[in-house]
Structure formats: C-alpha cells, structure tokens
Amino acid sequence: MPVQTSRRPPAVDSPRGPVRASTSTPRQPVKGGRSGKSAKKRARRKDPLWARVTLIFGAVLMVASGAAVVGSKVLISQATGSIAQRNLLGDAGKSDAEGGNSLDGPIDMLLLGVDAREKSSPDDIRADSIIVLHIPATHDQAYLISIPRDTEAHIPAFKKTGWEGGTDKINAAFQVGARNGGGWEGGAQSMAQTIKKMTGISFDGAAIINFGGFKRVIDTLGSVRICVKQEVTSMHMVFVDGKPMWNAEAKKTGKRMTPVVHKKGCREMEGWAALDYSRQRKTLKNGDYDRQQNQQQLIKAMAKKATQDGTLTNPIKLNQLTNAAGEALILDTGGVPIADFVFTMRGVTGNDLVMLKTNGGTFHSDGTRETLSAQTLDMFRAAKQDKLAEFVFANPEVISSRD
C-alpha cells in the first residue's frame, strides 16, 4: 500500500485569538502537488476582492453568482487585495492519494462558527457552529451538513497544547486546540482532526467565521430575508428606548427593558436581528438542531442577497462589503490560490446550495450524550465517496425545508 503523505504544510505560528485580514505579508501555506516533490513556498500574491467577499460568508458565497464572477473579471483584476491565511487543518487536509490540492475532484470545506466577543478569552472558546461544505466533482451543487455541537466525540491527542486525547462534546475540540497558546489556528486543527476521525472526511480548506462580525456584513447588504418557523424570545437581547441592546448592557442603563421577540413569518431582518435569531438555541423545540438550520438559512440568505442586489458588480458596494468581511474571517485554502476556488465553482448559484439535516433534525441520544445516527453516518460516508446526490435522492427527508 502506498504511503499517503499529507498535502498540508507544517503549522505556522499562530497569534492568540482571531486573525484578521491584514495588509502585512501573510505566511502562506506550502503548496503540495501530486508529484511528491517538495514545493517551494508560494510568493505573496494579490487575490480578488471577490474571493474575500465570498469567503466571509462562511466560504459559501464561493459557490454563488458565477455569472457575476465571469462578467466582472476586469473589475476583479483591478480591485485586488490580500488576505491573511493560516494552517487551519493540520494533518486533516487531503493527502496526495486523496487528490492533494487539485480542485478537479470533489471539494470539502470545514466551516467553524464562533461567537466571540470583546471580553472572550482566545484560549477559552468553543465552536458554536460546525459545518461541512461538500461540493461534488461535477461542481454544480453545494451541500451544507451541520454537526451537532453536543455530539460525543473522541478528540485525538493534540501535543501543541498538551492534550493527551479523550472523549468530550465535539465543540470542545476547538477549545482543546486553542488553549495554552494554541489560538484559533490550533482550535481549528484539533476540530478538523476530530471530524476526520469521526467521519473519514479529509478537507481541501477551512474557514473560521466570527458570527459577531457578520453584523457589519449584513448591514452593508442592508438586510437579509429570514423565515422564522417558531416564535422565540431572545435570551441575549432586549429593547431599551426602542433600541436593541445586549442584556448586560441594558441592565446598566436602569431603564425599562422590553423583550426582543422573533415572531413566525418571513421578513427582511437587519444585521442585529438576523444574528440574534441565529444565536437562539435553548428555547427552541429541537435546541441546537433548530439553531443549525437557522444558521444555515442565514448563510444562504446572505449569499442570495449579495448576488441579487448588484453588490458583486458594484465597485463601491464591493469595497464596503470587503472591508466588513475583513473583521470576521480566518482562512485556509491549503496552498491553492483563492481565485482558483472561486472560478472552479463559478457555475454554482446560491439556489444550488442544499441544506441538510443531521439526526433527522432532532435529538439522538444514547442516554447520556448526543450521537450521530446510522443515517447521518451514512450521509457523511456518501460525502466522502462523492455520492451525496444519490444519498439525498434516496433519503429526501434529510433536506432542510428552510429557504
């Protein structure tokens, strides 16, 4: 049996906490090929602003508006920028035997959502949202599969932070890698390795999205259309004098507080409202499962809005969106130029983004902790084998009905 060497570069030093887009020269990952020869480090390059815009939407807008990408090539080549990248996958990247960094076959991205705020310690944070983005080799579809945050998982040893391995909720894998100076880069690597062990899926790239940073992006878009399926009172925000405020800040005012209630129905939501709704979990009927679907809906809504209002072909709007995007993203494309990701998937539109449910969209416990059902494990197996379309056709109930 041939040795499957990982295409991933050695980990680079990571600062503690979130990494933001920077004008300084980022440390680029080493590109590995199928030849087995050592590759030289890729020089710093200019990447399209489009790439930065697409990736801030949880790396999902990569698959949106192919016509806009092709039609605005001249604009993109003129309006270029740089984006800092980090090694977020460690040993969980695809090996040469699995296709290496070639984009000719299926593409799998790991999307991690964190809800970090100013007072959050970078060493003490868990991943609130864990999503696998699968794009088949045909590059004409995209699937989002969320992994429940409370799923019991074996978290492999992570020597960088002194973790010797053990069992915990899967969202703790991020904390395991982030502590003791590992930072968000270490957190992502630990999570990627945990998911690979659980599902067998290796990744082409990854993105960490700070959901708090989404507010500016949505505000730049103006609003997003969200459909609320069950009325829920916010656990995090209230109105004071008609203005939304975090509970802790509202209490300091000493003024009367009015609950924020997200009522059933479809409507355009401002950034604060869309984010607050996507954060609700404990008071929803199916807890984190409903929140998963709400967050998937938010990502798709942002993709649709950006492709429908001319943002991607308007230089001013594009720059505004790019500036907002720079505050909420850490990215790893495995040494492949960002532009290659974008143009490889230019034929996929926002409407081709399919949201899938794990565990039938409800709790699946072994009596103590959440586990993945047999059907869900089959779904991940189908993704690894690039047979997800066939699986979904045979199991239509896994499709989320939310638009």
- pLDDT tens digits along 42-95: 333 333 333 333 333 433 333 333 333 333 433 433 333 344 568 899 999 998
Alpha-carbon dihedral sign for residues 147, 326, 273, 114: positive
Parallel, antiparallel, or unpaired for β 142-146 and 224-228?
A: unpaired
Q: pLDDT at position 308, please? A: 72
* Strand, helix or coil for residue 208: strand
What token pair was written down for 248? Answer: 């802790």
- Sorted by sequence, the CB contacts under 8 Å of residue 403 that are 6+ apart come out as 227, 297, 300
Cross-strand bridge partners of residue 326: none
The continuous run of DSSP H or E covering 243 comes out as: strand 243-246
How many angstroms separate the CA atoms of 64 and 243, rounded? Answer: 34
Q: pLDDT at position 14, please? A: 37
DSSP string, 347-367: T--GGGEEEE-SGGGS--BSS
Q: pLDDT at position 195, please? A: 96
How many angstroms separate the CA atoms of 33 and 36, rounded? Answer: 6
Parallel, antiparallel, or unpaired for β 47-48 and 80-81?
A: antiparallel
CATH architecture of 47-219+310-398: 2-Layer Sandwich (3.30)
**Residue 323 pLDDT > 90:** no
The model's pTM is 0.72
Residue given tokens 């990744």 in the structure block? 203
- pLDDT digit string, tens, across residues 156-206: 999 999 999 999 999 899 999 999 989 889 999 999 999 999 999 999 988
How many angstroms separate the CA atoms of 332 and 344, rounded? Answer: 16
- pLDDT digit string, tens, across residues 335-372: 776 666 666 666 665 566 788 988 887 777 766 788 99
How many angstroms separate the CA atoms of 136 and 389, rounded? Answer: 8
